[in-house]
Amino acid sequence: MIRDNLKKEISPLLGLCIQAPRTSRASLIKGSRSQANALAQQTLIAHWQSIVKILTNDLNVLKANYYAGSSWEELKHIRQAVGFLVIHPKPKKTLKEITNDLCPVLSIQQLYRTSTMYWDDKYGTHTVSSEVISSMRIMMTEDSNNAVSSSFLLDDDSSIPFSVDDISKSMTEIKVMDVDMPPLIRENSGFSFLHQRKD
């Protein structure tokens, strides 16, 4: 429920972030280029700050209720993908090195997409070798034949990552007899049976 509500809150803001540059181009007609760019920047910053605020609030809720793991662990897919993108000798890496050492948590589909979409316009470094790309294609074909998910994205798992036993163990035991009754109940004769149970 928390995740679904978060998606509903963030989706419109992400849409605004994507549309903001288009708005800035239209505003060039009315004002100077620098003023329009400054306005577009401020608008984008405001949208991103709203997203960060929503994420922070949700993280605080999760932390308060012991859901939230460490950010280092939660971001392992992104960390490994970034690590793969920034290394220079990609053409020298074998598929085994990539899947076992560099990116063990990424699926073949994710690695294939990252490898084929990679383009270094700054330093001109190349992506993985054509042999590795071919091996990835073969593995993806085998996966699709074995009915394994071919999604390039992370799985959207809505299952609860803990059992009912875990919840019951984490709760502190409260004895009803030790709880003081509110004055309205204590003074009302209709609740006299509660006094007898406590005594």
For the chain, give the mean pLDDT: 78
- Is the distance from CB of 51 to CB of 20 less than 8 angstroms? no
- Is the distance from CB of 123 to CB of 110 less than 8 angstroms? no
- Is the distance from CB of 26 to CB of 37 less than 8 angstroms? no
pLDDT of 104 higher than 90 = yes
How much is the pTM? Answer: 0.46
Of residues 39 and 8, more confidently modeled:
8
- Is the distance from CB of 6 to CB of 54 less than 8 angstroms? yes
The CA-based diameter of the chain, rounded to the nearest angstrom, is 85
Residue 111 corresponds to which tokens in the numbers above?
Answer: 């690695």
Residue 31 corresponds to which tokens in the numbers above?
Answer: 């004002």
Residue 26 corresponds to which tokens in the numbers above?
Answer: 């239209």
What mean pLDDT do residues 179-198 have? 73
What mean pLDDT do residues 16-40 have? 62
Segment among 81-95, 136-150, 164-178 with least mean pLDDT: 164-178
User: Vertex 50, ends 16 and 72: CA angle to 5°?
Assistant: 110
Enumerate the H helices of the chain as residue ranges.
2-26, 33-64, 71-74, 76-86, 95-97, 108-117, 130-145, 164-170, 183-187, 192-198
Could you tell me which residues come within 8 angstroms of residue 155 by beta carbon, excluding any fewer than 6 positions away?
149
Of residues 190 and 104, more confidently modeled:
104
- Is the distance from CB of 45 to CB of 54 less than 8 angstroms? no
DSSP state of 156: -
Most confident of 33-37, 87-91, 128-132: 128-132
Segment among 43-52, 89-98, 99-108 with least mean pLDDT: 43-52
Query: Helices 76-86 & 108-117, crossing angle to 10 degrees?
Result: 40
Predicted confidence (pLDDT) per residue in 54-74, tens digit: 989 888 888 888 777 777 787
Instruction: List the one residue out of 175, 172, 166, 198 whose CA is nearest residue 185.
Output: 198
